[in-house]
Amino acid sequence: MAFVFNFYSTFTDFENDLSFYQKNNHCCFRIQSSDTVEKTNKRTKWQIPEDFKYSRCVFVCTHFGEHRYCGKGIKSNTKSSATGCKVFLHLAYDYALRGLVVRKQFLEHNHPTNPDTYVHELRNKRLTPGQRQELKEIVQLQPVNEKLLSLLRNKYGKVLSLKDVRHLKSQCEFHCGLATPSVDT
């Protein structure tokens, strides 16, 4: 499946197509740069309906870019998955067609994309707010990491490593800590 020159009469149509593509091709995209409709409309008399959300948006593979470290040798979470992948989609509003068009694309990943790599994508590991809340309660019972790992896999279908579990656990403990005012409760 290719996106280029595909026309979308709503942003939701594009989002549906993208999410279908991601699931079927076992890859994830993130927004690299964008201009909102609101911002673009201020600059010109030609107005784009606001529900298009973006007048221009570049989506890149979550492995896009070179592996980088942020300050003090701490591995940056968002950059650590970078493999130098060049996959991108350039979506833009077309004033003549009155809809969104994918102007350019490159869809050849430089890394494996299969069901196994897909469950390991950071985005697919992320817990929903409801799951997080549940987890906080479970963590208070101080389960061993291996038990927590299999619970996350069996209950939520999240394939995490022991390192991920330790990280999640410390996040939960931090939020439950008495000394720290919890922001999200």
* Residue ranges in contact with Zn ion by CB under 5 A: 61, 63, 85, 87, 109
Give the integer Cα–Cα distance in Å for 55 and 35.
6
**Angle 175-180-182 from CA coordinates, rounded to 5°:** 50
- Token pair in block for residue 79: 């950059």
Closest to Zn ion by CB, 30 vs 169, is: 30
Closest to Zn ion by CB, 89 vs 148, is: 89
Looking at residue 143, the DSSP 8-state letter turns out to be: -
Minimal distance in Å, beta carbon 111 to Zn ion?
Answer: 6
CB atoms near residue 89 (< 10 Å): 23
Closest to Zn ion by CB, 89 vs 172, is: 89
Looking at residue 95, the DSSP 8-state letter turns out to be: T
Minimal distance in Å, beta carbon 83 to Zn ion?
Answer: 7
Minimal distance in Å, beta carbon 12 to Zn ion?
Answer: 24
